[in-house]
């Protein structure tokens, strides 16, 4: 019984993997995009206090001037911290 369940899970996973390969570059149709995504970004002056942050042993003084509200559609994702992405680490 367990063997049959594992085999079924494997086959379903394999089918989903193959389907996902053909869908990887597919963007949504224009009718599927929410109207909110067509809005221009909103920029508002802010009263946020300045702060410091340290990155790679360098300290940066940040003075926020504006806050933003924006909408977007992510059409691609790249995880640059992955082990095979040596190019971005250079």
Residue at 2 is within a domain: no
pLDDT confidence of residue 46: 92
Residue 77 has pLDDT above 80, yes or no: no
Residue at 69 is within a domain: yes
Residue at 4 is within a domain: no
Residue 73 has pLDDT above 70, yes or no: yes
Domain count, the chain: 1
Residue at 16 is within a domain: no
pLDDT in tens, 1-18: 889 999 999 999 999 999
Residue at 1 is within a domain: no
Residue at 9 is within a domain: no
Whether 37 and 66 have beta carbons less than 8 Å apart is answered as no
What is the C-alpha separation between 9 and 31, in angstroms, rounded? 34
β-pair type (58-62, 42-45) = unpaired
- Average the pLDDT over 54-58 and give the result: 89
Whether 47 and 67 have beta carbons less than 8 Å apart is answered as no
Strands (E), the chain: 42-45, 51-55, 58-62, 66-69
pLDDT in tens, 21-43: 887 777 778 888 888 888 899 99
- Kindly state the tokens that stand for 28: 């949504």
């Amino acid at each position: 019984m367990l063997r049959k369940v594992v085999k079924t899970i494997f086959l379903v996973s394999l089918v989903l993997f193959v389907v996902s390969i053909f869908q990887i570059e597919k963007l949504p149709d224009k009718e599927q995009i929410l109207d909110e995504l067509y809005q221009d970004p909103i920029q508002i002056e802010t009263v946020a206090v300045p702060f410091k942050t340290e990155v790679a042993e360098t300290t940066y003084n940040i003075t926020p001037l504006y806050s933003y509200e924006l909408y977007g559609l992510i059409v691609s994702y790249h995880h640059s911290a992955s082990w095979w992405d040596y190019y971005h680490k250079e």
